[in-house]
Structure 1
Amino acid sequence: MPVYSMTGYANVVASPPNGEADSSSARPSSISVEMRAVNGRFLDLSMRIPEELRSLEPLVRDLVSAQCRRGKIEVRINTQRESEAAWPQPQTEVLQRLAGLEATVRAALPQAQALSVHEALQWCRTGSQAAGELDGVALGAVKSCLTGLMEARAREGDKLVAILLERVQRLQELATEAEPLIPAVIQRQQQRFLERWNEALTAASAQANVTQQALQERALNEAAAFAIRIDVAEELSRLRAHLDEVKRLLAKGGELGKRLDFLIQELHREANTLGSKSAALELTNVSVEMKVAIEQMREQVQNIE
């Protein structure tokens, strides 16, 4: 499955067939559908649809929701006419029907206002259009635009995957660099312990109340505590396991943004622990480089669905 970015844009313009069109109806000459998508924690769908196509809103919402799981998506549907000044020619039967309906309403509600010329023309325009045919054209344009949006999000997702895999490789290289540094650090510290041991033996000769065995036990305890404190083998193993899981998810595709976000938090935690246990400048530098790469991954993961 592809990896989708939450960022994308698509635009489609469709024209109704003219076979059954009435030139006096001023029906729309084209219908444009525009979709914009940006990142968001949940699916936030907003729509702007003209009144003549308002009945399509639930269906459009269902179509978008079936394809998109997260992100802020804006859907705009507009109608264009050959001439916005071209008004329909009112038919006598339509006007008579409006007059009858107005009389019925005002008989029951004397305070109701009379229909204006503009309102009457709007009713004539609505009644003169083949509503079902127009809805079908608009719905087809919505589907085509949604397909274009998903293709744009997939292309953006491919770029994000390439960036993330590059950062994963960099983190794996840094983990490999960190491993041989640990024995060298331990060896240097052991040398320091030997120096302290010799100093303690020299000082013990002047203190009768301090035995050689007590000094040896103290030195061994200090060495053991230090070895435990600087042991980062477990952190490096977990970091590699998290990186392998990131690669597996990216290869699988689908809806994985939240899972990747969780793994990024775990990677950051391991890098922090590595830095806190660092007993050498080399390990500190590796930890800093890891944090930079992980933060770059976090920025990209925020855009993945």
Structure 2
Amino acid sequence: MKSMTGYGYGEYQDERVQLSLEIKSYNNRYLDIIVNLPSAISPLEQRIRDFIATQTIRGRVEVYLKLRDLQENAEVHVDRGAVQGYLDALGELASLAGTSAEISLPMLLQLEGVLSIDRRRDVDQYWAVIEPLLHRTYREFDESRAREGASTLTDIEEQLSRIAAQVEIIEGLAPGLEEQIKSSLRDRFREVMGESVDENRLYAEAAVLLVRYSINEELVRMKTHIDAFRRTLGDGEEGRGVGKKLDFICQELNREINTTGSKSTIVEINQCGIEIKDALENIREQLRNVE
């Protein structure tokens, strides 16, 4: 089991380039990848997205890469047209002002567009050093998610044990619910018919009510859901996404305990139902941050 919250940071430097990479994530219903790169290497964004998408199932994952070139492969060009244009304009200005035009090199260098710099960047060369840094940083990021997921798993297992214990209590109280139905029905018959109660009629009516109010099916389904929950937890031991499956099982458990509560007239059963719903809410709160 892995949390959707994680953090990883990595750095790399050689004689040509200095890199820092940060990966962090938050809970999200679906997979949402945000990649922030310097514009010079923006063509690499899709490669980073593809890598994250193959490793992560859901969550908002943010990737920030900073780059500093220590040795730039750049060419400086003189814009001859711009230089000539400036010279012509300055000469015309001097003529209109009635002064001599003294144009120096420092003056020309301050004028926009006289020089242009062409920085040659081969994105594949950058990728050669970014890719291993990305893998290394993601491992750190993934380990942090696994650590938090392990803590979450411990709490979920405790809450599930709490639910299973309450279901056992309800199962022990269920016969009392059936006896209560029979006793209540017998009292009603006596109110109407006195002591001359037709036992066959009584049993027939009791059978109808037991079919309607019996919680045996709900108990069977609750135990089945608990078993399915445990199996799914086992499926997620290697960190693969189980959050959505577990949340669905919680919904089904909640449905069964609601039905049980609507049928029960025994206070102790209803109290167990409250405990189960509280534990379920705790589990679902944790599952909101499980991948």
Identify the TM-score tier after normalising by the shorter chain: 0.7 to 0.9
1:59 aligns with 47
Q: Does 1:246 align with 2:229?
A: yes
- Asked if structure 1 preserves the Cα contact closer than 8 Å seen for 2:162 and 2:279, the reply is yes
What's the CA shift for 1:242?
0.9
Counterpart CA distance in 2 for 1:130 and 1:183 is: 77
Counterpart CA distance in 2 for 1:258 and 1:179 is: 29
- Which letter does structure 2 place at the counterpart of 1:8? G
Counterpart CA distance in 1 for 2:114 and 2:61 is: 34
Q: Does 1:158 align with 2:150?
A: yes
Task: Write the deviation string for residues 240-269 of structure 1: whole angstroms up to 9, x where unpaired.
Answer: 111111111111212222211211111111
Q: Does 1:120 align with 2:103?
A: no
Counterpart CA distance in 2 for 1:198 and 1:276 is: 27
What's the CA shift for 1:176?
0.5
Report percent identity of matched pairs. 29
1:288 aligns with 274
What's the CA shift for 1:202?
3.1
2:185 aligns with 193
- Which letter does structure 1 place at the counterpart of 2:229? V
Counterpart CA distance in 1 for 2:139 and 2:153 is: 21
What's the CA shift for 1:131?
5.7
Counterpart CA distance in 2 for 1:147 and 1:102 is: 52
- Asked if structure 2 preserves the Cα contact closer than 8 Å seen for 1:197 and 1:216, the reply is no
2:22 aligns with 34
What's the CA shift for 1:198?
2.8
Q: Which moved more, 1:156-165 or 1:280-289?
A: 156-165
Counterpart CA distance in 2 for 1:172 and 1:291 is: 12
1:45 aligns with 33
- Which letter does structure 2 place at the counterpart of 1:245? A
- Asked if structure 1 preserves the Cα contact closer than 8 Å seen for 2:76 and 2:115, the reply is no
2:210 aligns with 227
- Which letter does structure 1 place at the counterpart of 2:223? R
Q: Map of 1:79-118 to 2, 5 A cutoff?
A: 79-80=67-68, 94-96=75-77, 99=79, 116=112
Q: Map of 1:258-273 to 2, 5 A cutoff?
A: 258-273=244-259
Counterpart CA distance in 1 for 2:255 and 2:189 is: 36
Change (3 A) 1:53 1:41: same
User: Residue 5 of structure 1 is aligned with which of 3, 12, 18?
Assistant: 3
- Which letter does structure 2 place at the counterpart of 1:224? A
Change (3 A) 1:117 1:148: farther
Counterpart CA distance in 2 for 1:55 and 1:289 is: 54
| TM-score of the superposed pair, with normalisation by structure 1 | 0.75
- Number of aligned residues: 261
Counterpart CA distance in 1 for 2:46 and 2:266 is: 62
Q: What's the C-alpha RMSD, in Å, of the aligned pairs?
A: 3.0
Please state whether the residue corresponding to 1:4 is helix, strand or coil.
coil
Counterpart CA distance in 1 for 2:164 and 2:27 is: 28
- Asked if structure 2 preserves the Cα contact closer than 8 Å seen for 1:230 and 1:279, the reply is no
1:209 aligns with none
Please state whether the residue corresponding to 1:95 is helix, strand or coil.
strand
Change (3 A) 1:71 1:119: farther
Please state whether the residue corresponding to 2:35 is helix, strand or coil.
strand
Task: Write the deviation string for residues 10-47 of structure 1: whole angstroms up to 9, x where unpaired.
Answer: 111211x22xx4xxxxxx4x311111111222211111
| TM-score of the superposed pair, with normalisation by structure 2 | 0.79
1:184 aligns with 176
What's the CA shift for 1:102?
9.0
Counterpart CA distance in 2 for 1:138 and 1:101 is: 40
1:145 aligns with 137
Give the structure with the higher percent strand. 2
Counterpart CA distance in 1 for 2:66 and 2:210 is: 70
- Asked if structure 2 preserves the Cα contact closer than 8 Å seen for 1:164 and 1:300, the reply is yes
Change (3 A) 1:131 1:180: closer
- Asked if structure 2 preserves the Cα contact closer than 8 Å seen for 1:34 and 1:76, the reply is yes
